[in-house]
Structure 1
Amino acid sequence: MEQAATSSTTDLEPEYRADGSCWKLVPVISDGLLSQKADDNIFRHPLTVLLTQIAIIFILATIIHHFLRRYHLPRLISEVLAGLILGPTVLGRFFPKMSNTLFPQQSVKILATLTSFGYLFFMFLIGVKMDINLIIKSGKRDWTIGSIVIMFPLLIIVPVARYIAANVDNMDKLSMNWVAFFSGVVMLTSFPVVASLLMHLKIINSELGHVALASALISDLISVVMINSNAYVLLYRFASLRVAIKSMFLCVALVMVVIKILRPMTFWIIRRTPEGKPVKDAYIFLLVIVLVLVTIVGDDVGLQYMYGPFILGLTVPTGPPLASTLIEKLDTVVTDVMLPLMSTYCGYRSNLWELNRRPPAFLIFIITFGFLLKVSCGFFPAICFKMPCKDATALALMLTAKGIIELGTFATNAEKYSIVPGQFTYAVVVILVCAAVVPILIRKLYDPSITYAGYQKRTVLNCPANEGLRVLACAHGQDDALSAIKLLELSNPTTGSPLSVYGLCLEGLVGGSTPLLLNHQLGQKSSSDGSRWQPIIDVFNYFKSETKKQAQVQVFTAISLPKLMHEDISWVAFDNSVALILLPFHRKWNFKGKMISDNKDLRALNCKVLNKAPCSVGILIDRSRNRGPSFLANSSIYRVCVIYLGGKDDREALALAGRMRGWPFVYITVVRVMLSNACPMQGWEVMLDDECLRDIKHPSQKNANVFYEEETVRDGMDTSVLVGSLLDENYDLILVGRHSQSNSPVLAGLSEWTDLPELGPIGDLLASSEITNPISVCVVQQQITK
């Protein structure tokens, strides 16, 4: 009898089989285009269809982005537009047969499941990248802006939108839930969206970027509390108090398990991982299993399925080794593959042809008054904290930005609500327009370089002797700090002319989306391992202990993306009224004078600082053989040479040399290079106008260790030979301006052979990898003013 039932089932045509046995006749994987049977179709196989869909989506999105990126639009726009083209808006309307072949209904469900699965991993990575310490470090301004920009829009816009939908649009109670959900999502401020926007605009390291990040993180966490509290209120209203309390208790219990059990587990994994080694794959698999379990349990106890992974991610300590390994393992697949599928899927589900009627009144209210209120809640608190009007407007727009988080929230929750055709399309269009317009408006309003444009006359030359000199010394490693300290010791700090040194440890951002600027004098720390920058801090602290009252030393650590690290350097220099930034050269030499390192990333960083710095900049090329903490204890005579061709950069180099005259064992030689037919005193009078350089030509008895020489040349070739001869004079340090007189005949022909234009023609000659002399070079550029 059982056999008869089975045979009767298999005798039916596949479309009439209710037990699902028809799926046994369709293998998941095709035999291939060349091996298929006559009556077979490769698009009947689910995996083939899925791979084809993914390929088409990425190809089309890449083509669209190729044209839109010149307008500085984010890739999200291209992905949503790709979905609109592949969905019922274009392909489904004009090529329905092709649409049914490439996107059959069952395969779209598989694609939706894949995007939802990727979204929970994305929420986990968001938590991993967040530094919860950013909330602790946030001040009154950040808390005020972050709180107002989320609380007022949610408390005002959502109830009013529901009222308009009920009384003007005459919506039923089921549709009212969608109205509340839609208005709430549009009024949110998402930290990941704001962080992505700032990175896209390359202003995440600016002062405004730091304020936006802190405010967005505070808003995001407040919204999580408000949304879940509202969920418990709804449970109380539509179920019972017992159900609401039970759900709340289970959610709190889950959060406590994550904090008390799973967080210590992450620290246990870190302790089990040797320093400098990657985390074992077994631990990563364990965390993925825990992630899935937390998602399942959270969804069962009433917590939305994306909040469980988010909370788990927050408990993972930022930085290496665990957070960086998780991001390295998961970020490419999740962010670059699954998330684009999410945004394209949202575009696919939308149908612009459904927008053939007047939009409902509640929608018009949200996109007009709602956005106006949202922007106002960010603008007026910023104005109250004395932020410039344009910056306050840009900040308000940043906190209004929309992106993948809102799209993902709509896509994963739309099935829960009874919506009429076109409502989901309205949601996608609102997000799409906002994601396209906000970056354009911010670019028009805010230019981070303008912050430094009004920063006038911050140079060594214009720094009064009685005020002392303020120097920002940047270091990637301990050797960089030692090199900077040796040069700073030469500046002869005294009680009457003190030296203010700001040491900046530069650390690449790994395993996080939030750049950090730590002030170690305030006791600020990061959850990352600080052993990498502690040796640098020790060098600056040693200099502070040796100079005592003659020098003031503060140490910072900038943890940032390498491509945006110049923003941190510029901001610290601007904020502390620094006159000179010292940067380490990207090439390193060993004790034998052999080049051992040539870091292209550091060279790119130096070039960016030169172009954007709010003060003068010096690139220090250190070939000295003395690697001790101080050269003063080991040197009886220190010889400095200044190559002067004319121009403001050379004058800045002379001003720096003028700070070294106080040491009796420091001998300074100024070599003026001029054409053979030039007047010996031509141009020198300009230098004599500067008080700090007035006695170089005719040194007094007190400064008899300053010498002046004139060398005549005919062209750039003679200048090159002269520079080569200076290398044989046993100088310890050569100071030279970057640009000198770029149009001068004494440099004719040298610019065409320059390998390192950021050093100028003379600096490029002195930085040659073929030089083995233990001689250091400092190439100085005076502040570029607009």
Structure 2
Amino acid sequence: MAAAKTIECPEDPFNPLITSIIQISCMLVIAHLFHLFFKPLGQPGPVSQILAGLVLSPTLLSRINKIRQFFLQDASALYYRFFAFVSRILFMFLIGLGLDIPYMRLNLRVASTISLGAFVMSIIFGGSISWFLIDGVGVTTNRTSFVLVVMILLANTASPVAIRLIDELKFDTSDIGRLAMASSVISEMSCVLVYSTYLAVSSWVMFRYALYCILLTVGLIYLNKQLAMWFAKWNRNSKYVSNAQVVAILALLVGVSIGAESFGYNSTMTGFLMGMMFPRQGKTTRTLFKKLTYSVHNFLLPIYFGYMGFNFDTRDLNTVNNISAVIFLILFSFGTKIIGTMAACYHLKIPMLKGLVLGLILNLKGNFELLLIDGEIDSLTWWSGKIHRLLFLVVVVNTLISGPAVAYILKRRERYFAHTNTAVESLEAESELRLLACAYEPRHASGHLVLTAAMGKSVNPYLMHLVELPKKRRKTQLMYNQLEDGGQFSDEEEYGGNDVLEINDAVDAFTLQTNRKVHQIKVVNSFANMYEDVCTGAEDLRVSIIFLPFHKHQRIDKILENSKEGYRTTNQKILRHAPCSVGLLVDRSQTGFQQPIGSERVQHVAMLFFGGSDDREALSCSKRIARNAHINLTVIRFLPSESQRVQLADASSRDEMLMMSLARNETEVAKDDTFIEDFRLRYVTTGEVGYIEKCVSNGAETVQTLRDIGETMEYSLYIVGKGGGRGRSPMTTGMSDWEECPELGTLGDLLASSDFDLKSSILIIQRHRQYSNKDIVVDG
């Protein structure tokens, strides 16, 4: 990169630096104003930022002499390039750091096929049309290199632009959004690899430099792993590592990247690989995420995108040949990406509309293409200012068209792309399960992590720490030397106190033991409104189930004791308004369910099936737990006795209301029978799960049967449905007369009561229910 090679102090460094800061400030202000206008229209932030740069570019305001003299300075251009260089490196490092490796591993074939389809189509057509463009733009020498640039220009996808666009559109948690991000990363890394290979084989000197770059990258990857562990131990009693330690890691990252650039190679892959190979757990990784995410997304990337628009220059669009060349490249860029992507989607049986969205996202430009355009490949004699500006036009126009087009399609077909897997029952047992576990206290987090570990490797967990907002916000004025080491004081950061540290330690231990990443979120709000944050978060994260902690906790003497009343009211509101299924965990951590991984002990789990949609959802969750080698699952199905069925048949002929109730339940009973039969064929006949049937006549017999089950076998966890869809069942008659906690359902409330004297943990499942607007009650 030219900026990395030539960044040096000019004769008067102060004035150009001040000029650059003023330019950046103007760009950020204009971008914010544009975003206020375009955001209600569904347009993402990068579009506004590129337009802000375009306003200040030679195409518009910089046509005025005084403004042009102020903005277009050679010295300030170096600062711009260096800012863009640092932004790109840090964002590629952040992309690698946040890469969902389990998802990439499971979907590598699909993402690679989509990237390959667009890549091959772009290379073929790019190589063909570039020979027709040579005469049009006046290339007389090094034509092979020009062909390579055009092919990469058409084939590449700017992963920083694509990922930022998807994130802005809140599309990053959907299957198609995650697939687009994975495909964009593969596409860009492929183009960087092709270009680097071309340089490496061009001469022995470049081949030697390539080896130096590889050694530098591998060495820093190893060093980063050691530093991450060392910094975490150094800050054992702190929430994060210090700012100085973060700066040390980033300085090494930028230093190695500058070294790779000075050898003539692109450092995009270097930053990405160092992020991808960075340790996934611990305080160092958490601190880097916290520090980088806000600064990169809200400061560095807007400058980067603004710089793209700032280089938009139409002064060369004064001849038919130049205009035709730009239009030709733009049309072929769209055509090759969309055709190649849709062909791959047709092969993979992905709907064509999703293929169109993928094609538009993969047509986003602005990262590696800019490096080729800004640089000089082998000191090519054809690399004139005119060609530079024309190719820049192609890059910017592609992004300005593709971004709004994606936003328009997603907004127009919002229901088509909406989250539909709002229940575990709708998923295959082997497919990924996205779940959101809510914790008010560290013990809640520990219980949910134990449950997450039991549900198998195909779980993508999010842990949300719910912190009560104090009624009186504490105002504190601290001197700098009174702040945390390397920290910045804020009221929000202080919320949660030591609970945050304990939850972080629990998550780190869980990640280290299970090698599964847990995404952490902290919500600070009053108990009256906290349910809104949870429900909105569940919808944005597209989870299939929310796990909530019971408002009682087990004391040292093994008795359940009430916690804050706010826990209970929040749980009740979430149960009413949740956009997906909900699981309520009564965690008896001392006597009940324990961590199933890393222990030789085999735990026994019982699933009590009475029938109805909630019980089917509970059985769907049990399927995943049954796959754990450290758990022995037994499904106990309760059926009405023969005498009870005869009595119901006789009563239904006399009682019209009972007859209507039974008619409504016929469909549910048929679903239950089909579901249980399929479950038995897949799991019981193979010996993976035990299956028992119990016939009872009334609620009293059910209670006695449950007591006998508890005395016969020590189950560490009971899984039950809340009771939705069960209807009027004689098997539970009278069991709700002394109901203490209605949010647990009839059966869950019985098992959790002190009178039942059960030592096991209990998981109560409520399946997602579709409510109409008139059914939703807004809490006061």
Q: TM-score range by the shorter chain?
A: 0.5 to 0.7
1:122-157 C-alpha deviation (Å, 9 max, x unpaired): 344344344667655444333333333224413x23
1:145 aligns with 2:108: no
Residue 179 of structure 2 aligns with an amino acid whose one-letter code is: V
Contact 2:549–2:584 (8 Å) recurs in 1: yes
Of 40, 46, 50, the residue aligned with 1:70 is 40
In structure 2, distance between residues paired with 1:218 and 1:654? 38
Question: For 1:675-704, what per-residue CA distance to the aligned partner results, in whole angstroms no more than 9, with x for missing partners?
Answer: xxx99859644456468599xxxxx99413
The match for 1:784 among 767, 770, 774 is: 770
CA contact (8 A) 1:189 1:401 kept: yes
SS of the equivalent of 2:766 reads strand
Q: Does 1:532 align with 2:490?
A: no
> Does residue 114 of structure 1 match 2:72?
no
Q: Does 294-303 or 421-430 show the bigger shift? A: 421-430
Is contact 1:763-1:779 (8 Å) kept? Answer: no
Alignment equivalent of 1:83, drawn from 46, 49, 53: 53
Question: After the TM superposition, which residues 102-501 of structure 1 pair with which residues of structure 2 at under 5 Å, given as runs?
Answer: 106-130=75-99, 136-154=105-123, 156-173=124-141, 180-181=148-149, 183-232=151-200, 236=202, 244-259=203-218, 261-272=219-230, 273-274=232-233, 278-281=240-243, 283-352=245-314, 355-358=317-320, 359-403=322-366, 406=369, 410=373, 417-420=383-386, 422-423=389-390, 424-441=392-409, 443-444=411-412, 452=420, 477-480=445-448
Q: Secondary structure, in 3 states, of the residue corresponding to 1:620?
A: strand
In 1: Cα distance, 2:700 partner to 2:214 partner = 73
Q: Deviations over 1:395-441 (max 9, x none)?
A: 33333333566557656779983131851334322332222223323
In the other structure, the counterpart of 1:578 is none
TM-score by length of 1: 0.60
Larger mean Cα displacement after TM superposition, 158-167 or 267-276: 267-276
Letter in 2 for 1:149: A
Q: Which amino acid aligns with 1:387?
A: I
Structure 1 distance, partners of 2:128, 2:209, is 32
Instruction: Check whether the contact 2:638–2:694 (CA below 8 A) recurs between aligned residues.
Output: no
The one-letter code sitting in structure 2 at the alignment partner of 1:271 is: M
Tell me, yes or no, if structure 1 residue 704 matches structure 2 residue 697. Answer: yes
Whether the 8 Å contact between 2:436 and 2:461 is mirrored in structure 1 is yes
Residue of structure 2 equivalent to 1:550: none
Residues 232 and 247 in structure 1, CA contact (< 8 A), matched pair in contact too: yes
**CA contact 2:550–2:584 (8 Å) conserved in 1:** no
Shift of 1:347: 1.9
Whether the aligned pair in 2 keeps the contact of 1:738 and 1:763 (CA below 8 Å) is no
Q: Is the 8 A contact 1:738 1:779 kept in 2?
A: no
Task: Give 1:606-645 correspondences, 5 Å limit.
Answer: 610-611=578-579, 613=580, 617-620=581-584, 622=586, 627-629=591-593
Distance change in 2, residues 1:228/1:450 (3 Å): same
Q: Does the C-alpha gap of structure 1 residues 480 and 126 become closer, same or farther in structure 2, counting only changes over 3 Å? A: closer
Q: Determine whether 1:506 maps to 2:461.
A: yes
- Tell me the CA shift for residue 56 of structure 1: 2.2
Give the aligned length: 588
Letter in 1 for 2:461: L
Q: Which amino acid aligns with 2:24?
A: I
Distance 1:129 1:735, change over 3 A: closer
1:83-133 Cα distance to aligned partner (Å, 9 max, x none):
22223333234x544564577665455444433343333344344344667
The offset of 1:76, in angstroms, is 1.0
Partner AA of 1:269 in structure 2: L
Asked whether the equivalents of residues 203 and 209 of structure 1 are also in contact (C-alpha less than 8 Å), the reply is: yes
After TM superposition, the score normalised by the length of structure 2 is: 0.60
> Counterpart of 1:713?
none
Match for 1:390: what amino acid?
Answer: L
Residues 404 and 262 of structure 1: is their aligned pair in 2 closer, same or farther, counting only changes over 3 Å?
Answer: closer
8 Å contact 1:146–1:219 — kept in the other structure?
Answer: yes
C-alpha displacement of 1:529: 8.0
Farther off after superposition, 72-81 or 436-445: 436-445
Contact 1:83 1:345 (8 Å CA) reproduced: yes
- Aligned partner of 2:735 in structure 1 is none
For structure 2, list consecutive stretches of 5 or more residues without a partner in the other structure: 1-8, 439-444, 466-505, 522-535, 595-605, 621-634, 642-654, 672-692, 702-718, 729-740, 747-751, 756-761, 773-780
Question: Deviations for 1:249-283, whole angstroms, at most 9, x for unmatched residues?
Answer: 22123212421x32221222233223685345554
CA contact (8 A) 1:649 1:782 kept: no
In structure 1, how many angstroms separate the alpha carbons of the residues matched to 2:297 and 2:110? 32
Using the alignment, how far apart are the partners of 1:594 and 1:377 within structure 2?
A: 60
SS at match of 1:303: coil
TM-superposed CA distance for 1:67, in Å, is 0.9
Q: 1:80 to 1:588 in 2, by over 3 A?
A: farther
Alpha-carbon spacing, 1:740–1:102, altered in 2? closer, same or farther (3 Å): farther
Q: Greater Rg, structure 1 or structure 2?
A: 1
Asked if the contact 1:402/1:434 (under 8 Å) is kept, the reply is: no
Aligned to 2:708: none
Change (3 A) 1:607 1:302: farther
Alpha carbons 1:87, 1:349 under 8 Å: kept: yes
Letter in 2 for 1:506: P
- Equivalence for 1:38: none
Instruction: Report the CA distance shift for 1:339/1:608 in structure 2 as closer, same or farther (over 3 A).
Output: farther
Give the SS at the match of 2:461. strand
Distance in 1 between residues matched to 2:458 and 2:106, nearest whole Å: 21
Paired with 2:76 and 2:423, the residues of 1 have a C-alpha distance of 63
Q: How far apart are the structure 2 equivalents of 1:739 and 1:200?
A: 42
Alpha-carbon spacing, 1:345–1:301, altered in 2? closer, same or farther (3 Å) = closer
Give the root-mean-square deviation of aligned CA atoms: 5.6
Q: How does 1:5-44 map to 2 (within 5 A)?
A: 23=12, 28=14
3-state DSSP of counterpart to 1:584 = strand
Amino acid at match of 2:115: G
Cα distance change, pair 707–472 in 1 and its aligned pair in 2 (3 A): farther
Check 1:183–1:561 CA distance in 2 against 1; reply closer, same or farther (3 A cut).
farther
In the alignment, the residues of structure 2 paired with residue 607 and residue 288 of structure 1 have an alpha-carbon distance, to the nearest angstrom, of 44
With over 3 angstroms needed to count, the CA separation of the structure-2 counterparts of 1:150 and 1:597, relative to structure 1, is farther
Change (3 A) 1:322 1:704: same
Distance verdict in 2 for CA 1:784–1:449, change over 3 Å: farther
Aligned to 1:584: 548
The CA deviation at 1:780 is 3.3
1-structure distance, mates of 2:464, 2:208: 38
**Which blocks of at least 5 consecutive residues in structure 1 are unaligned?**
1-19, 29-44, 237-243, 461-466, 489-499, 511-527, 538-555, 574-580, 631-637, 665-677, 695-699, 709-731, 742-760, 767-771
